[in-house]
Structure 1
Amino acid sequence: MQQQTLSDIAQTIKNSKSKGEKILTPNLQKMLKVLASMGMDRKVFACLLEIAEVDVQLVKYLAGPIITGGREWRDAIPTWVWQAIAIDRLDTILEEVDKGETGKLATPSEVLAVMMPITFEVPLSWEWNNVYLWASHTTLIKHKPFPNYDYENLWKIIGTTPIDYKQIQHDYETLASDIRTRVIKNVSSEWGKRLKQKPHKKVNTLKEINAQLSLF
């Protein structure tokens, strides 16, 4: 079923290109998001965005590795966080395509993946603890991974007053920018060049790069 859907999407993209029509229509974006929520590999979406001739930096960001912090606690990151990252990257990229811009920041779920392992190794400063709590809260509220959970009172459950983005903006954006830069830097050089290859070859899923980030 998914394979047929992907074939249909790829053909729709090609047809729109040949007719000079808008490629990533709202309906097509909706289909991509549904497939992402079902756990489809984000590299598949990167291939589709390549066909749509989306900016190469956005394609690389989508296909790039998931950056994590620390060395010993990577496996402690819950499965739902990995899934959230794939969904959030696609959401961010589609939003940037609509705006005609290329952003610089990684998503809150990616910040969470970097900081979570570090919290098991060293205490965080007050400033970085607030960044971690804000990223955690934002990711949990969006994805709601736990059924029947009281997300409306999440700040109270965490045990702190709500953290406003302006409070953590500088530190958060410094980290989020560094993460996105590292994602693009560590992606395979093949991404962004496939459309120039003749004949077009089927793309194999690349092995995830276990990139480590040391910031604290």
Structure 2
Amino acid sequence: MEQMNLISPEIMAEISDGNSTKLPDNTRKMLQVLASLNTPKELLASLLEVAEFSLHHVRYLAGPLVIHRSPWSDTIPQWLKFACIQDRLELIFTEYEQDQVGVSSTATEVLTLKV
């Protein structure tokens, strides 16, 4: 019995091409759209892992948001928490393009920490 391949030969050639080590633009856009739809960060991190991003980036995206305990911490809007995930993803893409792994956080995360 012959195995059926659902992926076109052109796409398979692109995937198996050892010279292409960068993430395709359409994949990056798809992840950005998913992040804008408030997709759980754990799912986005799983997709980064499938795309063979560094373990540091995967853990950073899936990791908890650090929120300072203060009388105002309950007033952090949900959209700001989702914005943190979107900004983390952008930082990861920037570092990925530059072949580096940083140790900084995003400005949005700093905002949630200060509230």
Q: Report TM bin, short chain.
A: 0.7 to 0.9
Q: Give distance in 2, aligned partners of 1:19 and 1:75.
A: 49
Matches within 5 A, 1:113-128: 113-116=112-115
Alignment-derived partner of residue 96 in structure 2:
97
Matched, 1:109 2:72: no
Q: CA deviation at 1:74?
A: 2.4
Alignment-derived partner of residue 85 in structure 1:
84
Q: Give distance in 2, aligned partners of 1:51 and 1:71.
A: 38
Alignment-derived partner of residue 28 in structure 1:
27
Q: Give distance in 2, aligned partners of 1:49 and 1:79.
A: 23
Amino acid at match of 1:35: L
| Contact 2:22/2:97 (8 A) holds in 1 | no
Alignment-derived partner of residue 68 in structure 1:
67
| Contact 1:23/1:52 (8 A) holds in 2 | no
Provide Cα deviations, 1:160-195, integer angstroms capped at 9, x if missing partner.
Answer: xxxxxxxxxxxxxxxxxxxxxxxxxxxxxxxxxxxx
- TM-score w.r.t. the length of structure 2 is 0.80
Amino acid at match of 2:35: A
Q: Which has the larger radius of gyration?
A: 1
Alignment-derived partner of residue 36 in structure 2:
37
| Contact 1:50/1:56 (8 A) holds in 2 | yes
| Contact 1:68/1:74 (8 A) holds in 2 | yes
The SS at the match of 1:69 is coil
Amino acid at match of 1:108: A
Q: CA deviation at 1:22?
A: 3.4
Amino acid at match of 1:65: P
Residues matched between the structures, number: 102
Matches within 5 A, 1:41-60: 41-60=40-59
RMSD of equivalent CA atoms: 1.8
Q: Give distance in 2, aligned partners of 1:42 and 1:24.
A: 19
Q: CA deviation at 1:73?
A: 3.3
Gaps of 5+ in 1: 1-11, 117-216
